[in-house]
Amino acid sequence: MRRFLAIRIAQSLLAMLAISVIAFGMTHLSGSPVDSMLPEDAGPEEAAQLTRELGLDRPIHVQYFKFLGRVLSGNMGDSIMSPGASALGVVMDRMPATLLLGGFAIIVSTIIAIPIGVLTAVYRDTAFDAAGKIIALLGQAAPPFWLGIVLIWVFGVTLDWFPTSGRGGFSHFVLPAIAMGWFQVAALMRITRSSMLEVLDSEYIKLARVKGVPESRIIWVHALRNAAIAPLTYFGVIAGIILTGSVVIETVFVWPGAGQLAVEAIRARDFPVVQAVVLTFAAVFILANLLVDTLYAYVDPRIRYR
């Protein structure tokens, strides 16, 4: 088990290093922030001076290693949009809103997808199974931003059941969480169904039925526990999709989270904030996958010896 965890942690650190290179390179390809920081009447001398102050006149590899040193020390520079505030501090201020919304979306997805996935496998080739397939198809075909706009129009504007923007009480979470998590409902439901179908056809399930074990216990205890390995693995992917999807959903619903902050920082060419958002999202995603891998090893003991 220790060897398994050591390998996974080493892979996670290498992934973070690769992401730091990508984050640094992509932000610099978007152009210089000097133009957006200077007033319109600034001359070439002022631009050159600010470029030197920011260290943008140095070779690109020197800039990267300096950036990497700041990341390792926890200091990613000051925000350009918010003078005097650290880039990481600005992101951390917004991150709880994103994690709260993402966690709510994952809970909604799980509560809806797992039971439907199990039941469509139990009642396969019935009307219930066909309805589940239609839900999965529509869920994976509908873009989250389009679904968010439709939900706002129907339930926020037409019916006036839920607020359409901002962060507040429970009602503010409903529409953005559904828009963010509906794609995951479809994917998780299909994975659960496929896993359950495979498990329900296994010999030990047939033996349990012969012994007279109640059908509900067979399905929800024995079968679901063994079928949970594939959905559990997918939860690591869900974490990444939820975080990246937050950029779109938070913009649609004007949710004050890190996703909307990323859009604002890109528009302002705020390199430090953009890099802080990317690396924070990556860290959460990699940590979630590491946690899933660890749980996976406990669920299936064969994995920990690979």
The DSSP code for 39 is -
pLDDT of residue 59: 74
Q: d(Cα 285, Cα 38) in Å, to the nearest integer?
A: 36
Per-residue pLDDT reduced to its tens digit, 90-141: 888 888 888 888 888 888 888 888 888 888 888 887 888 788 778 777 777 7
Confidence bin at 282 (pLDDT 50/70/90) = confident
38 burial via Cβ count (<10 Å: 0-12, 13-18, 19+): middle
* Chain mean position to CA 228: 20
User: What average pLDDT score do residues 140-150 get?
Assistant: 82
The letter for the amino acid at 40 is E
* Chain mean position to CA 147: 18
Residue with tokens 């995951």: 184
- The structural domains of the chain, ordered by start, are 2-73 (no CATH), 87-305 (1.10.3720.10)
Q: Which residues of 65-96 are buried (b: 16+ CB within 10 A; e: fewer)?
A: eebeebbeeeebbbbbbeeeebbbebbeebbe
φ/ψ of 11, rounded to 5, equals: -65, -35
Per-residue pLDDT reduced to its tens digit, 167-184: 777 888 888 888 888 877
Q: d(Cα 130, Cα 42) in Å, to the nearest integer?
A: 65
Whether residue 302 has pLDDT greater than 70: no
* Torsion angle (degrees, nearest 10) of CA 275, 278, 284, 285: -150
User: What average pLDDT score do residues 285-292 get?
Assistant: 79
Highest mean pLDDT pick, 59-73, 149-163, 222-236, 292-306: 149-163
Whether residue 297 has pLDDT greater than 70: no
Whether residue 13 has pLDDT greater than 60: yes
Q: d(Cα 77, Cα 67) in Å, to the nearest integer?
A: 9
pLDDT of residue 43: 63
pLDDT of residue 41: 58
For residue 300, CA distances in Å to 35, 63, 287, 295 come to: 55, 45, 20, 9
Per-residue pLDDT reduced to its tens digit, 33-55: 666 666 565 666 666 766 676 66
Per-residue pLDDT reduced to its tens digit, 185-219: 878 888 888 888 888 877 777 777 777 778 778 77
> Where is pLDDT greater, at 1 or 10?
10
Q: Whole-model pTM above 0.85?
A: no
pLDDT of residue 114: 85
Per DSSP, the residues of 126-164 read SHHHHHHHHHHHHHHHS-HHHHHHHHIIIIIIIS--S--
